[in-house]
Amino acid sequence: MIVGTEWLIEAFDCEADSLRDAATLQDVFARIIADLGLKIVGDPHWHQFGGEAGITGLVMLTESHLACHTYPEYRTATFNLYCCRTRPEWNWQGNLSEKLDAQTVKVTKIERGEQSEFKIQDSRFKIQDSKSKNPQSAISNPKSKIVGGEV
């Protein structure tokens, strides 16, 4: 018995300024919610961090939740959508390419609640050929320095 589907999305080589723009990310959320017929519970929560000005957003849904985290310094955005009811596939590649200028989008789909077999569908879509503009860093998650401390 499947109790829900979770999508984990990573968008790479995005336009850094769009990852610092709350209105752009709110528009992405609005498009996802409208296109998939999702229903919001309560008020959305958005926070913009200091430094590189990455943004975290969270919307609770009657179906579960939608979240995003942006890392402008790495030109990367991550999204998580969990739905407890079947939904059509959303065009993450096309929409994130259009809204964030993402060059590569990786979508991992997990069907939750399956006891006999853990099903994961993982696909990566290269929007166009481009050299990676993300610098390598010894810090795997720069925001983790902030968690539990100053914001």
Contact by Cβ (8 Å): 42, 146:
no
Does 38 fall in a domain? yes
Does 32 fall in a domain? yes
For the chain, give the mean pLDDT.
84
Predicted local confidence at residue 38, as pLDDT: 95
State which residues form the domain around 48: 9-130
Residue 66: pLDDT band (50, 70, 90) is very high
Closest CA to 77 of 6, 21, 121, 34: 21
Predicted local confidence at residue 68, as pLDDT: 98
Residue 121: pLDDT band (50, 70, 90) is low
Predicted local confidence at residue 28, as pLDDT: 98
Does 151 fall in a domain? no
Say what the pTM is: 0.77
Does 1 fall in a domain? no
Residue 94 has pLDDT above 60, yes or no: yes
The C-alpha atoms of residue 100 and residue 71 are separated, in whole angstroms, by: 12
Q: How many domains does the chain have?
A: 1
The C-alpha atoms of residue 98 and residue 11 are separated, in whole angstroms, by: 12
